[in-house]
């Protein structure tokens, strides 16, 4: 059994200081220690935890994701379409529930036989974490070398690997206080304020040139790139639904930098739970802008199920302090400028028309370069 405190100190000595994850009974002592001593974001699902750690990496932090192997499937999308193509490395600890020969609940039996194989298929180097302290430290250094080369590395953790740690009362989750009380919401407007391209033009015009913009996958990032390209722009071309989690990681690690996330209704519906995480941690420098056209525009215009969803009310109930239901592009412009001067965790609901610019290309900046130039820019804050 590893002494949890000593193992964590070794991680810290290698520069790993940002954690996110979803609890697992096999990792509970490690997670308790991390929550007691380190910066930890309690994600609502494993994929969002991966994306938040990716954002923290862009913000200059070496990040660690903690998850049960049953949630590894949830993390496949960002691991393969965000971390891998953008060369964003994270260190992972995944539990081995369902280990062959060890009594466990029946739902874990199959995953226990394929955990390492699933990591192998994704091209993620991995090792079974040793119970010997000296060997485990050697493994950490090997893993750090992989991380430093720009690739992710995962440890597979068996039963009874970490020594017991109780969660301190001071480490229990409490929402960060805000200087601003929630603003009463106006009546929700679903009349489109314009096309996506017109709306993006309004957004870019209103924001300062040094504001970070994360554009969700699909045509939002593509239209933004064709309109203008900046090092401050991050174009997500995969990991659908993870834009706000990535933005959260950047906002938390770069509190002096304004971060705007441009989301879509289909994407937000896919990982709507992250609204609660954003609202709980409530970084004042994060503004979440939802462009709702009611369709999956990049896959043929199929309807989403957003027609009866009051996104603004959901965001408010999740803890966003400033809610703006946009009814004109002028309203959007004015409120974005106001947010830049008087920041608070904010959600802007913007109804737009279906359809997109035609013909429409794709970003020509290589995906690793999109990430590296933003990371370099944030490094100099």
- Do 204 and 140 lie in one domain? The reply is no
- Do 311 and 222 lie in one domain? The reply is yes
- Residue at 112 is within a domain: yes
* Tens of pLDDT, residues 353-378: 999 989 999 999 999 999 999 999 99
- Residue at 41 is within a domain: yes
- Residue at 252 is within a domain: yes
- Do 372 and 233 lie in one domain? The reply is yes
- Residue at 191 is within a domain: no
Q: What share of the chain is helix, strand, coil (3-state, %, to 5)?
A: 45, 15, 40
* Tens of pLDDT, residues 304-334: 999 889 999 999 999 999 999 999 999 999 9
- Do 50 and 136 lie in one domain? The reply is yes
pLDDT of residue 181: 55
User: Predicted confidence band at 187 (pLDDT cuts at 50, 70, 90)?
Assistant: low
DSSP 187-248: PP--S--S-HHHHHHHHHHHS-TT-EEEEPTTHHHHHHHHH---TTEEE--SSTT-HHHHHH
- Residue 179: is its pLDDT beyond 60? no
- Do 153 and 212 lie in one domain? The reply is no
Phi, psi of 313 (to 5 degrees): -65, -40
- Residue 186: is its pLDDT beyond 60? no
For residues 99, 101, 104, 107, the Cα torsion angle rounded to the nearest 10 degrees is 60
- Residue at 304 is within a domain: yes
Pairing relation of β-strands 212-215 and 125-128? unpaired
CA dist 323 to 31, 284, 286, Å? 33, 13, 12
CA dist 258 to 99, 136, 255, 313, 340, Å? 45, 39, 8, 24, 7
- Do 223 and 320 lie in one domain? The reply is yes
Overall domain count for the chain: 2
Query: Rounded mean pLDDT of 63-83?
Result: 97
Are 267 and 255 in contact by the 8 Å Cβ rule? The answer is no
- Do 17 and 136 lie in one domain? The reply is yes
Are 201 and 227 in contact by the 8 Å Cβ rule? The answer is yes
- Residue 222: CATH number of its domain: 3.40.50.970
- Do 141 and 247 lie in one domain? The reply is no
- Residue 40: is its pLDDT beyond 90? yes
User: Predicted confidence band at 175 (pLDDT cuts at 50, 70, 90)?
Assistant: confident
**What percentage of the chain has pLDDT greater than the value 90?**
88
Closest CA to 153 of 169, 165, 141: 141
- Do 27 and 100 lie in one domain? The reply is yes
pLDDT of residue 49: 98
The answer to whether the predicted template modeling score (pTM) of the entire model surpasses 0.85 is yes
Containing structural domain, residue 123: 4-171
- Do 131 and 246 lie in one domain? The reply is no
Half-sphere exposure of 194 (CA within 13 A, CB side): 15
């Amino acid at each position: 059994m590893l002494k949890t405190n000593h193992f964590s100190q070794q991680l810290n000595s290698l520069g790993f200081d940002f954690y996110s994850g979803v609890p697992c009974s096999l990792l509970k002592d490690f997670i308790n220690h991390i929550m007691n001593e380190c910066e930890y974001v309690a994600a609502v699902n494993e994929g969002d935890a991966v994306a938040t750690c990716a954002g923290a990496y862009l913000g200059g932090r070496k990040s660690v994701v903690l998850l049960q192997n049953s949630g590894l499937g949830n993390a496949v999308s960002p691991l393969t379409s965000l971390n891998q193509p953008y060369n964003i490395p994270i260190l992972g600890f995944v539990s081995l529930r369902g280990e062959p020969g060890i009594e466990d609940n029946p739902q874990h039996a199959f995953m226990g036989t394929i955990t390492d194989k699933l990591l192998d298929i994704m091209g993620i180097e991995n090792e079974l974490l040793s119970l010997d302290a000296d060997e485990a430290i050697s493994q950490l250094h090997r893993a750090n070398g992989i991380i430093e080369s720009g690739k992710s590395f995962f440890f597979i953790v068996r039963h009874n690997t970490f020594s017991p740690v109780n969660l301190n009362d001071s480490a229990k989750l409490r929402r960060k206080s805000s200087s601003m009380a929630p603003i009463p919401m106006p009546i929700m407007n679903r009349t489109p304020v314009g096309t996506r391209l017109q709306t993006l033009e309004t957004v870019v015009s209103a924001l300062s040139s040094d504001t970070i913009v994360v554009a969700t996958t699909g045509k939002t990032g593509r239209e933004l790139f064709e309109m203008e390209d900046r090092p401050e722009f991050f174009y997500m071309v995969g990991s659908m639904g993870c834009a706000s989690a990535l933005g959260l990681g950047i906002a938390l690690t770069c509190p002096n930098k304004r971060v705007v996330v441009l989301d879509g209704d289909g994407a937000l519906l896919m990982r709507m739970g992250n609204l609660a995480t954003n609202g709980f941690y409530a970084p004042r420098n994060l503004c979440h802008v939802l462009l709702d056209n009611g369709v999956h525009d990049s896959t043929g215009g199929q309807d989403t199920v957003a027609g009866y969803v009051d996104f603004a009310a959901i965001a408010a109930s999740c803890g966003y302090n400033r809610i703006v239901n946009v009814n004109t592009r002028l309203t959007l412009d004015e409120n974005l400028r106001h947010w830049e001067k008087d920041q608070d965790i904010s959600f802007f609901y913007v109804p737009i028309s279906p359809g997109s610019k035609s013909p429409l290309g794709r970003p020509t900046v290589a995906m690793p370069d999109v990430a590296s130039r933003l990371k370099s820019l944030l490094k100099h804050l």
